[in-house]
Amino acid sequence: MYNILILEDDCIQLRTLSDIIRQSDDGMYQVYEATNTAEAFEIAKQKMIDLFYVDINLKNESGLSFALEIRKMRNYRLTWIIFVTIYKEFMLSAFKKIHCYDYILKPYNKGNIQRITKLLLSDSCAQAAVTEIKKKFIIVPVKNIQVKIFINEIIFVEVFIRTSIIHTINGSFTIDYLSLKKLNSMIEDKNILQSHRSYLVNIKYINKIEKTNDKTAYKIYFYNTDKTALLGNNYKKCIMDKFNDVVDGEIDERL
């Protein structure tokens, strides 16, 4: 038996979504309904919820804020959350891709609801969640949404004044007011090192290193992206030693 919680302040929408799920459960789903966040939190505390359907735009409340608070509860750190909304601009593809969550636009499509519910509550997805727990990650705020980024998917990080950009194999994420020092302390990975006062690089993704016109700096090229980072003289020896140890890449002989 799987427990599903629907947070939706429109009673008609709530009943519609609840009925759609119940029609396909074959006795396997227990559906709980909440019209506000207080009710939803109370249910989540009393029952172990396996899947949340959360309306983003609640009256005088925020479904996103509810989800962020749920994530602070140990039992729900990796529980599936599906957001429902009428606004397409909330559909951040990177957010979906990294977190394995989904957005569903209103009005509801019965087939889509039933398909995604069965998919997320299948044994294969449960195993995927267990695997995910074992992978090291950081959580950063991107456009007011907490995004999970796996450490081993980070290619490099660059910081300009008060803006940090994390480049990963799944795209780039921009975070305001997060320093390089703070990011480095959050990541704490032996393969991600500082290469310049404004850059962290993942040694495993380095393709080659070349001199620039500036005699005090070098340019770092990576696999999986056309973007480059800088290597400063003060960090050159450490990066080069590590690069030679763990990565098979092309190094400019002029170094």
Fold of 2-134: Rossmann fold (3.40.50)
Q: What is the pTM of this model?
A: 0.49
Distance CA(11)–CA(233), nearest Å, equals 63
pLDDT of 103 above 80: no
Looking at the chain, how many residues does it have?
A: 255
Q: What are the extents of the domains in the chain?
A: 2-134, 137-251
Alpha carbon distance 84, 28 (integer Å): 22
Selected residue with higher pLDDT from 230 and 102: 230
Q: Residue 53: which of 89, 24, 15 has the closest Cα?
A: 15
Q: Which tens digits make up the pLDDT trace of 177-187?
A: 889 999 999 99
Over pLDDT 70: what percentage of the chain?
Answer: 82
Task: Provide mean pLDDT across the span 78-83.
Answer: 84
Is the pLDDT assigned to residue 253 strictly greater than 80?
A: no
Q: In which band, very low, low, confident or very high, does the pLDDT at 90 lie, cut at 50, 70 and 90?
A: low
Per-residue pLDDT of 186-228, as tens digits, reads 998 989 999 999 999 999 889 889 988 876 679 999 988 899 9
Mean pLDDT (whole number) for 85-103: 53
The domain defined by 137-251 folds into OB fold (Dihydrolipoamide Acetyltransferase, E2P) (2.40.50)
Whether the predicted pLDDT of 68 surpasses 80: yes
User: Position of tokens 């040694």?
Assistant: 203
Residue 27 has pLDDT above 90, yes or no: no
Helix crossing, 63-71 with 37-46: angle to 10°? 30
Give buried/exposed letters for 23-56 (b at 16+ CB in 10 A, else e): eebeeebebbbbbebeebbebbeeeebbbbbbbb
Name the nearest CA neighbour of 175 among 199, 204, 146, 151: 146
CA-based radius of gyration for the chain? 22
Q: Do domains 2-134 and 137-251 have the same CATH topology?
A: no
14 confidence band (pLDDT: 50, 70, 90): very high
